Chain A
Amino acid sequence: MTIDWASFTPWTSLAGGLLIGLAASLLVLMNGRIAGISGVVGGLLRPRTGDTAWRAAFILGMLLAPGLYAWIWRIPQSEITTSTPLLVAAGLLVGIGTRFGSGCTSGHGVCGLARGSARSLVATLSFMLAGFITVFVTRHVIGG
């Protein structure tokens, strides 16, 4: 294994992680809810009275985040190299998978592990392992 030190961003990544943790903490302590993005979005597809406003507000906040961020600081570059058909497949898998698996990187990976949930540990290990294998296959077996 070789570490790409040139791309390694320990401080900004740690600081970003702390902000994500702060956001998840605020939501559970103030509203009693889990900050799991797939759950927050998915819940809107099954609207229940009194349960949609906070979800919509959360998503609106996320959508306005790049604007706020760009106003304070420069948005780091991002690069998407995946082809359109592959992006469609990826989106479908992420949509179906996170709902069947009851969570994603935030709900299981951050909140679930922070709660010490065994379900979330199994889910996180499953999606991390699947992610590692998928990138290995696409980068080094097919694309290598």
Chain B
Amino acid sequence: MQTLVAFAVGLIFGCGLILAGMTNPAKVIAFLDLAGPWDPSLALVMGGAMAVASAAFALARSRARSLLGLPMQLPTLKTIDRKLVLGSVAFGIGWGLGGLCPGPALVALASGRHEALVFVAAMLAGMAIHEISSRKIS
């Protein structure tokens, strides 16, 4: 059942990204381009998503188990460290360069954009580099 829910969530999430305009890198870059002709659309994507999700997370926080009886796995880490900030900055630079973040990249890949294939392959390589380096440390 949880697999089926995850599948449906992926479908809804993907359709939301397409409808929102997030799968169009040119639109994402137009949102990030404050000095150019600015397209504020993506602020509404985040606002809309947060408005709905805030209510759900408030409810989720008050429960130990999900509606399917699974453990509620919310992040517990509170430390704000260099890793968090530098990682996020690196992500932001990559996002600004390509106009793609992980979700929209997967959807663009499935829409048959060959540029997205290049991006997703590099992204997976980047994630693998993190995986290898964090295994060496631990």
Contact = CB atoms under 8 A, between A and B. Distances in A.
Interface of A: 1-4, 7-10, 12-35, 37-38, 41-42, 45-46, 53-55, 57-69, 75-82, 84, 86-102, 104-106, 108-119, 122-124, 126-136, 138-140
Nearest to B69: A32
B39 to A, nearest CB: 4
B50 A23 contact: no
Contacts of B130: 42, 95-96, 99-100
Given A31-B5, A54-B3, A119-B84, A127 B57 contact: no
Interface of B: 2-27, 29-30, 32-42, 44-57, 59-61, 65-68, 70-75, 77-80, 83-103, 105-111, 113, 115-116, 118-131, 134
B65 to A, nearest CB: 7
B3 A57 contact: yes
A80 B56 CA distance: 34
Contacts of A104: 91, 101-103
Contacts of A90: 94-95, 97-98, 100, 119, 122
Contacts of B14: 61-66, 68-69
B131 A45 contact: yes
A17 B37 contact: no
A101 B84 contact: yes
Contacts of B22: 16
21 contacts: A15-B20, A18-B16, A19-B13, A35-B13, A37-B13, A42-B131, A46-B131, A78-B108, A78-B111, A81-B26, A91-B123, A92-B123, A94-B94, A96-B129, A100-B87, A129-B89, A130-B88, A130-B92, A130-B93, A132-B32, A135-B29
